[in-house]
Amino acid sequence: MFPGLSSVGTSAAPQCTGGNVKHRDEAADPSPPRNPMGRTGLRGRGGLSCFGPNHTLQPVITRWKRNQDGAICRKSIKKMLEVLAVRPPLSEHWALPGGSREPGETLPRKLKQVLRREFWPSFENLLAQGTEVYKGYVDDPRNTDNAWIETVAVSIHFPDQSDVELKRLNSHLHSCDTGMSIRWQVVDRRIPLYANHKTILQKVAALFGAYY
């Protein structure tokens, strides 16, 4: 048990497992979940929704960067990727269009904010056909001693610029929030993504033998 945890309160608090919210009675179970990577210096849930693992989904949507003639661009011999990224209002950093999901939902909230509803079922199919590139703990500044983020990152790659689903995806992109930006970003180590998203993106670049 961590000393001083009583500041969190003794009422039932939500705990996330497999994307669903459960409740944990601290009076019945006074031992809080422990961060598997060790102490962070912060107790309780902090800014996270649940004690224990907070599950997220990160779709990594990529295509090849092409010049005006349609040829794939290269750098240091390797092909170059572009990734679909979003920038929340007032943020200096771009992010992958993923995150937490509502209980029972397949797509993360952030993705739904930039994708028209009529394309959601098609994207669920793309997600099911994607390649899992990472599953596990995420080094995130919101993590505490008793709550942390775990993610599943899925690569969805469009190798052909004439791909019908890629064209449909582009035609269904929009922003529900006037402050939200979305665009295809060139992939390299200088891309202005959050650090933990860059780690995932590097894995995708390695998967395709692409420049990073």
In the β-sheet with 52-64, what is the strand arrangement from edge to edge? 131-138, 147-158, 52-64, 81-87, 181-186
- In a domain, residue 1? The reply is no
Q: Indicate whether 12 pLDDT > 50.
A: no
Predicted confidence band at 22 (pLDDT cuts at 50, 70, 90)? very low
Taking CA atoms, 136 is separated from 51, 62, 167, in Å, by 16, 21, 32
pLDDT (tens digit per residue) in 126-158: 999 999 999 999 999 999 999 999 999 999 999
Answer yes or no: is 4 within a domain: no
Q: Residue 173: is its pLDDT beyond 90?
A: yes
So what's the pLDDT on residue 2? 26
3 state DSSP class of 12: coil
**Number of folded domains in the chain?**
1
Is the pLDDT at 19 greater than 70? The verdict is no
**pLDDT higher than 80, residue 23:** no
Q: What is the pLDDT of residues 106-130, one digit of tens each?
A: 999 999 989 999 999 999 999 999 9
How much is the average pLDDT of 60-84? 98
Distance from first CA to last CA of the chain, Å, rounded?
43
Q: For residue 177, what pLDDT band results from cuts at 50, 70 and 90?
A: low
In contact, 181 and 77? CB cutoff 8 Å: no
CATH number at residue 112: 3.90.79.10
Domain containing 91: what range? 9-207
pLDDT digits (tens, 9 = 90+) for 75-94: 999 999 999 999 988 888 99
Other beta carbons within 10 angstroms of residue 14's beta carbon come to 16
pTM: 0.83
Q: Return the closest-CA partner of residue 84 out of 176, 195, 172.
A: 172
Residue 3 in domain: no
Task: Specify if 48 maps to a domain.
Answer: yes
Does a structural domain hold residue 165? Answer: yes
Q: Is 46 left (phi over 0), alpha (psi -120 to 50) or beta?
A: left
Cα distance between residue 26 and residue 20, in whole Å: 19
The number of angstroms, rounded, from the C-alpha of 146 to the middle of its chain's C-alpha atoms is 21
For the residues 163-185, what does the mean pLDDT come to? 89
Residue 146 lies in a domain: yes
The Cα 53–Cα 194 span in angstroms is: 20
pLDDT-above-90 percentage for the chain: 75
